Structure formats: C-alpha cells, structure tokens
C-alpha cells in the first residue's frame, strides 16, 4: 500500500482547519442572509453588536429576499432578511417563521449621470420599464436610447418596484443584476442607462430622478410624498437561539433606530407618518395625544 505524506501545504491546511475549529468553539456566528437592500444596515448593526459581544460575529450575506426567506424557513440560517412579507413569497409558510419590521427603505430610479432628465412622472417611469418609451428625448432629454437594467428575479426590491411602479406588470426583458452594488456600477458606466436602487446604496457615481417634482428623500418617504418604499423585515425561526434574540432586540434599540438607521439612509419605523398594508393600501398613522 502506498504511504500518504503530508507536504508543507497539507500541514498548513490542516493547521488552518484545526485553528478554525478552535475559533468556532470560542465564539458564536450569527448568519443573516437575504435582501441586499437591508444588507448594509444589518452589517453595520452587526459590527456595533460585536463590540458589545466580542465573541459573536454577525455574518451578513445578500442573495435576495427570496433566498433569505427560503433559507430561514429551511433552518439553514439564523436570520432571513427580506423586503417582502413572507406571505408574498410562494413556497414560504409564514406560520413557520417570525418576522420583525426593522426599518423602511426608500427606492429610487437611478440613471447614468450623462442623462439630461431631472424629473419623471410615475406614468413615464412605468412606460420606460414597460418598453413604451425607448428614447430620453421622449421625456425631455437628449436624443439617446434608453438602456434598461432590471433587478434579478427573487429580488425584493424588484417585487416592490413592480408593485409600486408597474402595477404588477413584468418589465421589458433586459439585462438583470442581483447585486445592488453591481447595479450602481453598471449604471455609472453605461450611457443612457436606468435602473433603481435602495437609498442605502446611493452615491455620487449615479444620478437620481425626481418623481412629479418630489425628491427621493427620507422625509418624503415618511409622508408617502415619495411613494417608492418598502418595509425591511428580519425573519427568525420560531425558536431562535438566545444570541439571535439578543441581536433582534438590539436592532430595535434607540442606538440602532435613532443613529445607524438614519445615518445609513433608511427610515425608522417610528418616524413614518403613514403605514402600508400587505395589499398596498396606504393610510395615515394616528398620532397619540399626550
């Protein structure tokens, strides 16, 4: 029988595995998967949580709301992040998981900075994504073909956009991208392009558009003057670990809601002046008299 020898590389690999096992025994990892729109907030909150509990690491991954809901239902992760209610996703049994609204996120159309359009109506935005308007000159811009970039199927941001802008219709077939960061990068480098992003991913490499004269601001979201927004949910199993419970409780503290949420361009639930039901009905929140 031929003898097996560990080379230098093999020894390093074995040492790394053993070292990793040791770290795992000393600490705890909370795995959160799903909505890329919610990912920056959970990552930031996780970093602050780690300062309070140095032996706990919050591992946050994207993949889309559909993935987050499927993974938490399957018991594969500790937390499933979603822009959607569990009831909105086929194959998900909302009775098997527990959801918490942790924030509201605004969604805005973004275009390449070379596009010479400042504002659209909701109907114009809808017609662009349905393929009825194909050149920027049709909405007051230059003679330049419109290049669509859709979010991927399974994206909660896409579902919200289709509900709020397209009235549930499917957009024109075009390139699709799941990663919010990649959407921003493609729009920044593609002449005449348009897509949409959560406020939390905006920077000066792309240009936002007004809708009927209203700017995409957190304040306008609170009153529904900016109508493109959705709730951000974090789902757990019905029997979450003790540390998962602690992290979920931490997400609703003033430290997160009053500081991290606002700083990262989300909107705290308590700051909303309106509420939206699962069927899309918007109504004013009654303010309690003091």
Domain shared by 250 and 153, yes or no: no
| Paired tokens of 260 | 């991290």
What is the average pLDDT score of the chain?
A: 91
Domain shared by 98 and 110, yes or no: no
Cα-Cα-Cα-Cα dihedral sign, residues 249, 255, 257, 263: negative
Q: Is the pLDDT of residue 27 over 60?
A: yes
85: CATH: 3.40.190.10
**Spatial separation of the C-alpha atoms in residues 94 and 238, rounded to whole Å:** 10
Closest C-alpha to 228, from 200, 202, 206, 198: 198
If you write DSSP's letter for every residue of the chain in order, what string do you get?
A: -PPP---HHHHHHHHHHHHHHHHHHHSEEEEEEE-TTTHHHHHHHHHHHHHHSTTEEEEEEEE-HHHHHHHHHTTSSSEEEESS-GGGSTT--GGGEEEEEEEEEEEEEEE-TT----EE-HHHHHHHHTTS--BGGGGTS-S-B-EEEEEPTT-HHHHHHHHHTSTTPPPPP-EEE--HHHHHHHHHHSTTEEEEEEGGG--TTSEE-EETTB---HHHHHHTSS--EEEEEEEEESS--HHHHHHHHHHTSHIIIIIIHHHTT-B-GGG-SEEE-TTS-EEEPPPPP-
Domain shared by 198 and 252, yes or no: no
Domain shared by 199 and 110, yes or no: yes
Give the global pTM: 0.86
- 15 vs 29, more confident: 29
Domain shared by 215 and 117, yes or no: yes
**Spatial separation of the C-alpha atoms in residues 34 and 61, rounded to whole Å:** 7
Closest C-alpha to 97, from 277, 248, 274: 248
Domain shared by 170 and 148, yes or no: yes
Domain final residue, candidates 175, 192, 223: 223
Instruction: Give the pLDDT of residue 179.
Output: 87
**Spatial separation of the C-alpha atoms in residues 173 and 277, rounded to whole Å:** 29
Q: Is 290 part of a structural domain of the chain?
A: no
Q: Is the pLDDT of residue 261 over 60?
A: yes
Domain of residue 198, residue span? 106-223
Q: Is 289 part of a structural domain of the chain?
A: no
**Beta-carbon contacts of residue 169 (< 8 Å; ≥ 6 apart):** 130, 162
| Paired tokens of 119 | 């504002």
**Spatial separation of the C-alpha atoms in residues 145 and 286, rounded to whole Å:** 46
Instruction: Give the pLDDT of residue 34.
Output: 96
Q: Is the pLDDT of residue 80 over 90?
A: yes
Domain shared by 48 and 119, yes or no: no
Domain count of the fold of the chain: 2
Domain shared by 137 and 67, yes or no: no
For 25, list phi and psi in degrees, rounded to 5: -70, -30
Q: Is 4 part of a structural domain of the chain?
A: no
Q: Is 47 part of a structural domain of the chain?
A: yes
**Spatial separation of the C-alpha atoms in residues 192 and 110, rounded to whole Å:** 11
Domain shared by 32 and 94, yes or no: yes
Instruction: Give the pLDDT of residue 20.
Output: 42
Q: Is the pLDDT of residue 228 over 90?
A: yes
Q: Is 186 part of a structural domain of the chain?
A: yes
Domain shared by 241 and 165, yes or no: no
Domain final residue, candidates 175, 197, 223: 223
**% of the chain with per-residue pLDDT over 70:** 90
Q: Is 52 part of a structural domain of the chain?
A: yes
Q: Is 249 part of a structural domain of the chain?
A: yes
**Beta-carbon contacts of residue 92 (< 8 Å; ≥ 6 apart):** 69, 70, 73, 86
Domain shared by 187 and 266, yes or no: no
Angle at 251 between CA 97 and CA 235, to 5 degrees: 15
Beta bridge mates, 56? 28
Quick: pLDDT tens for 199-213.
999 999 999 999 999
Closest C-alpha to 226, from 262, 270, 276: 276
Domain final residue, candidates 177, 195, 223: 223
Mean pLDDT of 6-29: 45
Q: Is 93 part of a structural domain of the chain?
A: yes
Domain shared by 100 and 110, yes or no: no
Instruction: Give the pLDDT of residue 234.
Output: 98
């Amino acid at each position: 029988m031929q003898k097996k020898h560990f080379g230098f590389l093999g020894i390093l690999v074995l040492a790394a595995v053993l070292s990793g096992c040791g770290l795992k025994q000393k600490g705890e990892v909370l795995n959160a998967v799903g909505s890329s729109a919610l990912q920056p907030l959970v990552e930031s909150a996780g970093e602050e949580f780690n300062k309070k509990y140095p032996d706990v690491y919050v591992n946050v991954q994207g993949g889309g709301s559909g993935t987050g809901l499927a993974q938490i239902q399957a018991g594969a992760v500790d937390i499933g992040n979603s822009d959607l209610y569990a009831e909105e996703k086929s194959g998900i049994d909302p009775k098997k998981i527990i959801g918490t609204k942790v924030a509201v996120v605004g969604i805005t159309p973004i275009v390449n900075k070379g596009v010479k359009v400042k504002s659209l109506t909701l109907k114009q935005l809808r017609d662009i994504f349905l393929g009825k308007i194909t050149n920027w000159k049709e909405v007051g811009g230059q003679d330049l073909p419109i290049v669509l970039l859709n979010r991927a199927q399974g994206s909660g941001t896409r579902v919200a956009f289709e509900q709020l802008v397209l009235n549930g219709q499917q957009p024109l077939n075009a390139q699709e991208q799941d990663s919010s960061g990649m959407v921003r990068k493609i729009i920044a480098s593609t002449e005449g392009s348009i897509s949409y992003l959560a406020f939390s991913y905006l920077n000066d490499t792309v240009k936002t558009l007004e809708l009927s004269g209203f700017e995409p601001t957190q304040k306008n979201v609170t009153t529904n003057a900016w109508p493109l927004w959705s709730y951000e949910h974090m789902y757990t199993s019905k029997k979450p670990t003790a540390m998962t419970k602690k992290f979920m409780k931490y997400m609703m503290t003033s430290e997160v809601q009053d500081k991290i949420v606002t700083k990262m361009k989300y909107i705290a639930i308590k700051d909303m002046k309106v509420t939206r039901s699962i069927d899309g009905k918007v109504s004013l929140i009654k303010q309690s008299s003091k």
